[in-house]
Amino acid sequence: MRKMATLTGVFIWVVALVFSMGALTVHAQEKPEKVTVIYGGSSWLGHYPAWVGIEKGLFKKYELGVLFQNFYASSGRMGSLVAGDLDVASTGCISAIALMASGSKGFMAFGTQDSYATVEGIIAKDTLKSIKSLKGKRIAAPFASSAHVLVLDILAQNGLNPNTDLTLINLKVNEMPAAMGSGEIDACAAWTPHFNKLLNMPGNHLLVNDTQFSLYKQYKLGPGPDLLVVRREFAQEYPNTCKAFVKGYFEAVDMLINAPEECAKVLVKLTNLSMEDQMAVLKDITWIKGDEQKALMVQPGGFVTGMQQLADFLVKHQQIDKAPQVKQWIAEKMVP
């Protein structure tokens, strides 16, 4: 009986060892193949989760380091991504759609992190009370951006031609406060944090925000909703690294929802806003959690459908020549 008990004990020990070795193997397989990810961002709210994830150590939980590189516009960020200088980024949909339309296969999309409508809009001098009062005036927008598309749509809604009825100037958002202050321009289209800075300047007021955009009225889709993108080659070569990034990223989204004040304390280093203004911006954002992504990006894929409608809208306004089939750029395996 003692021999039988000994054999049984040995058997149980061997089984336990096999299981533990299997668990270790699985853990090893899930470790990031590459421990550093280069992220392309800016002070725009769509990059808050990446910044919070870095500052609060959420990526480190998954043995990942994330380097945050600043770009003033999505177009430059997307150019760097497809060139191989970035691994992951967030971008306005317009830049992504424009690259899709050009035939670029160097990137894929795997999520959308926020919904906003009241922190981007057209700001004008107090003397200009309506969109129609912009006739004959100078209005600035960063060309090929969500703000530019908003301007084109709002002008069309009000019967104004951007080529003949006013002067439309291509200007970076960070240059707009100085241009408005000096009288170089009469109005501008901008996004936060410069949107907030412009509104805080004496003599300025808000004409319209994204809630007046045509597709927002119909589908709750802004002129340039945020999109999470990854370099295609990076996603194929480092799947575990991508999984680790997605986990850390959407934990940061959860923190932004559940602990906004704690997040604001680190975000002010990125945005240079006051705590009061930073908290006001956070209150205007609806964050989209990780467990909501499949429904938006894959099945039924309502967000992708909205992007397709936006692509058709860009063709109508002569921003791209032909609408791409957006669904072909969705990285379904990366969607959380």
Please report, for residues 46, 122, 172, the alpha-carbon distance to residue 209 in angstroms, rounded to integers and kept in the order given: 17, 6, 18
Please say which residue of 219, 239, 273 terminates a domain.
219
Give CA–CA dist 69/39, Å, rounded: 6
> For residue 43, is it within any domain?
yes
The residues, any chain, with a CB within 8 Å of residue 275's CB and separated by 6 or more, are 264, 265, 268
Same domain, 74 and 160: no
Same domain, 141 and 45: no
Domain around 175:
120-219
Please say which residue of 168, 184, 219 terminates a domain.
219
pLDDT digits (tens, 9 = 90+) for 4-25: 444 444 444 444 444 444 444 3
CATH code at position 203 = 3.40.190.10
Calculate mean pLDDT across residues 161-183. 96
Same domain, 236 and 283: yes
Same domain, 211 and 242: no
Phi, psi of 298 (to 5 degrees): -120, -70
Handedness of CA 44, 46, 50, 52 (dihedral sign): positive
pLDDT digits (tens, 9 = 90+) for 288-298: 999 999 999 99
Please say which residue of 165, 196, 219 terminates a domain.
219
> Three-class SS of residue 194?
helix
Same domain, 172 and 102: no
Same domain, 164 and 109: no
> For residue 24, is it within any domain?
no
**What does 113-127 look like in DSSP terms, one character per residue?**
-EE-SSSEEEEEETT
Per the omega criterion (within 30 degrees of 0), is the bond before 300 cis?
A: yes
Handedness of CA 70, 78, 83, 228 (dihedral sign): positive
pLDDT digits (tens, 9 = 90+) for 106-121: 999 999 999 988 899 9
Write down the number of H helices and E strands in the chain.
14, 12
Same domain, 285 and 312: yes
- Local structure of residue 166 (DSSP, 8 states): S
> For residue 14, is it within any domain?
no
Domains in the chain, number: 2
Same domain, 326 and 231: yes
pTM as predicted: 0.82
Report whether 131 contacts 155 (CB < 8 A): yes
Question: Which tops the pLDDT comparison, 177 or 1?
Answer: 177
Same domain, 76 and 146: no
> For residue 22, is it within any domain?
no
pLDDT digits (tens, 9 = 90+) for 196-234: 999 999 999 999 999 999 988 877 888 989 999 999 999
CA angle, 73 as apex, 69 and 79 as ends, to 5°?
75
Same domain, 112 and 124: no
